[in-house]
Chain A
Amino acid sequence: MHHAVLAEDKKRAAYRALQDRVVDGEGRASPEQRARAFSNVGLSGPLDSLLGKVATRPARVTDADFAAARAAGFSEDELFELVICAAVGQSARLYDAGLAALADAVAGEEDG
């Protein structure tokens, strides 16, 4: 029964397809940069400032955050990709935190 709770449903699988594409698929930013944006770990400078806000307080993102990232040499297409990776990464962590809490809540119970 625990297996049934943990198994990915169609919706989670569709989100995983999005995650896999934005991090590992073809892109202008390197897969390593995209992975760091996704996990919100190991970023530095203006990119850390911008993507940290995207992950944890998106309403505080400003024009200046983008200007600083551009000045650090990131192109528009790289920023497009990295902002998406940061947003998808944080949402994936929330999704998985919710599913893990559900699995914990029903551990040891009958399927239902």
Chain B
Amino acid sequence: MRLEVLNRGYGPGTKMLFAVIRLVSRHPVPDAAKLVFYRPDFYGARAKEFTHEAMRGPSAWSVGDRELMAAYVSQANGCAFCVGAHTATARQAYQDGPKVTAVLADLESAPVGDGLRATLRMLGKLTGEGKVGAEDMRQVLAAGVSRQQVKDALAVCAAFNTTDRLADAFGFEVLSPEGFEAGAKYLLKRGYR
């Protein structure tokens, strides 16, 4: 990563934990995980709490739907690390790789419900253009999405607009496909806390 403190600035306990993670997963510790262990009182602790609430907390959206939103927002930001991580997680959550690939290739023709499609469209616009209007939201609501589901989707959007920016600014190293699969398995088992 571009800051040496994020590569090396960890205490003995955290270094030990990273060694255990490397041993058990047989993959390097992802930079996304390292970031939340650096001075966790500044960012990591509250970021994990929020991201877990957005991605695994109560919602009418499934875990797979929210991971797909994370991948879609990350694609709009051009963030290779997060697209890789959350594409793998959405595929595993849905047990459906082709659906995830289809959404990222062409949302309008992808085999997903109208509500999810309209929601992804709105998140893509908000992320890409920096704004959305009442009419965009009326279209999402007209597709059968509840107000709370819109709010829940906006929380996912905020979580990944934050993480995408940090991944690209700090320079997270893109993992191997096997590394992303291992990370996805962990995120589905344990979440983000």
A residues in contact (CB < 8 Å) with B: 5, 9-12, 14-15, 17-18, 21-22, 25-27, 50, 53-56, 58-59, 61, 63, 66, 76-77, 79-81, 83-84, 86-88, 90-95, 97-99, 101-102, 104-107, 112
A91–B73 CA distance with the chains assembled, in angstroms: 12
A16, chain B: closest CB distance, angstroms: 9
Q: Would B5 and A76 count as touching, CB distance under 8 A?
A: yes
Interface centre among B9, B134, B171 (most CB of A within 10 A): B134
Q: In the complex, which of the residues B6, B138, B158 contacts A94, with contact meaning CB atoms closer than 8 Å? A: B158
Q: How far is the CA of A66 from the CA of B135 in the complex (A)?
A: 40
Are B169 and A83 in contact (CB-based, < 8 A)?
Answer: yes
Residues from chain B with a CB closer than 8 A to the CB of A18 are: 43, 46-47, 49-50
CB-based contact A106/B3 at 8 Å: no
> Given A14-B49, A76-B3, A105-B134, A92–B158 Cβ distance below 8 Å?
yes
In the complex, whether B95 has a CB less than 8 A from a CB of chain A is no
Taking a contact as CB atoms under 8 Å apart, the answer to whether A66 and B3 are in contact is yes
B contact face: mostly helix, strand, loop, or mixed: helix
Taking a contact as CB atoms under 8 Å apart, the answer to whether A90 and B134 are in contact is no
Contacts of B161 in A (CB 8 A): 87, 90-91, 94
Q: Is B38 within 8 A of A80, CB to CB?
A: yes
Contact A11 B152 (CB under 8 A): yes
Closest A residue to B122 by CB, please name it.
A98
A12: chain B residues at CB < 8 Å are 151, 155
In the assembled complex, how far is the CB of residue B64 from the closest CB belonging to chain A, in whole angstroms?
18
What is the chain B residue whose CB lies nearest that of A51?
Answer: B169
Q: State in angstroms the CA–CA spacing of A106 and B137 once bound together.
A: 9
Residue of A nearest to B2 (CB): A66
A21 and B141 form a contact (CB under 8 A): no
- Asked whether A101 and B132 contact (CB < 8 A) given A14-B50, A21-B42, A79-B3, the answer is yes
